[in-house]
Chains A and B, each alone.
Chain A
């Protein structure tokens, strides 16, 4: 069997995960607020299915510096994005990973930790109209304890990888 044949057989064995959630947010919106070094960011709770800590991070070559490697979740490799490396150009020292709910890719985000779950009315979400300054990485912001927290635009963050490799 050559390698192409092996890959075809491996791919055929992979079944789709039926546990996909809808994107319906309703009027009250829920955000997972996470710390990345000294900054907080907001994920839509529906985008994250698991938080894991202290699992080994495996090096992957030929990738941009903000891709820190793979982690193993239930036998499946997940690509780890380091948001601090992407936004600030400096690797984050941490072992807390958020496993995302992406339908077509297995992606995890490296963070310092989860701060809180924030529930706020939809009309209190501040929308960002210009994507020029932040390269489209943020959708808007929410206020918590007097601070503005950016909401991450995960599809755009992940799409960045396509341009960089």
Chain B
């Protein structure tokens, strides 16, 4: 029998929480040393070293604060490492044409996502995740908001797609 559960990263923030498909990143490390970086794309604001490679760091905390007015400013952060080669061909091409052209030293395989330390990986039953109401579904899906879940009476968790969110920021340049 196949399980209805799937692994998600749950990010706890102030006003609401966010859940990310565990398959969208393959490693997470404490984000210690970063170097400031200036990109035309929003929220790409630092670089980090990972296995001898230099990775651009997408500041997901800043995105959440800008978009949802939620997020935790923390001096301790985690970097989620995503494999760019698993993203869609169009998104990989946009990445090459902007981020890699801006700085040819950057990794063409990986990028990092900065999130706060209030994060945990949990198995969540898919039956608990709801689609966005139909009138807003297409719009929000396009922006990377795929669904939501109400685990507690006074709490919402948005199911977000980090690939769409990151590449919207690249495409808008």
Contacts and interface: CB of A to CB of B under 8 A. Distances in A.
Contact of A79 (B128, B136, B161): B136
Nearest to B66: A61
Nearest to A62: B143
Contacts of B148: 70, 77
Contact of B67 (A14, A61, A75, A162): A61
Interface in B120-172: 126-136, 139-140, 143, 145-148, 150, 154, 156, 161, 163
Given A1-B21, A67-B136, A165-B139, A59 B129 contact: no
Contacts of A62: 67, 139-140, 143, 145
Nearest to A58: B156
A9 B135 contact: no
B133 A105 contact: yes
Given A10-B147, A72-B156, A63 B136 contact: yes
A56 B152 CA distance: 11
Contacts of A76: 130
B34 interface: no
B15 A10 contact: no
A7 interface: yes
B41 interface: no
Contacts of A7: 131, 146-147
A158 interface: yes
Interface string A59-89: 1111100010010100111110000000000
A161 B156 contact: no
A104 B134 contact: yes
A58 B132 CA distance: 13
A60 B70 CA distance: 11
The residue in A10, A76, A165 that gathers the most chain B C-beta atoms within 10 A of its C-beta is A10
Nearest to A73: B150
B160 to A, nearest CB: 9
Contacts of A147: none
27 contacts: A1-B6, A1-B21, A1-B23, A2-B21, A2-B23, A3-B21, A3-B163, A6-B146, A7-B146, A9-B126, A10-B147, A13-B126, A13-B127, A56-B154, A58-B16, A59-B16, A61-B145, A62-B140, A63-B136, A63-B139, A72-B150, A77-B156, A104-B134, A106-B133, A107-B135, A162-B135, A165-B136
Interface of B: 6, 15-16, 21, 23-24, 67-70, 126-136, 139-140, 143, 145-148, 150, 154, 156, 161, 163
Given A63-B136, A70-B156, A107-B133, 14 more contacts: A1-B21, A2-B23, A3-B24, A3-B163, A6-B129, A10-B126, A58-B156, A62-B139, A63-B139, A70-B148, A72-B156, A76-B130, A79-B135, A165-B136
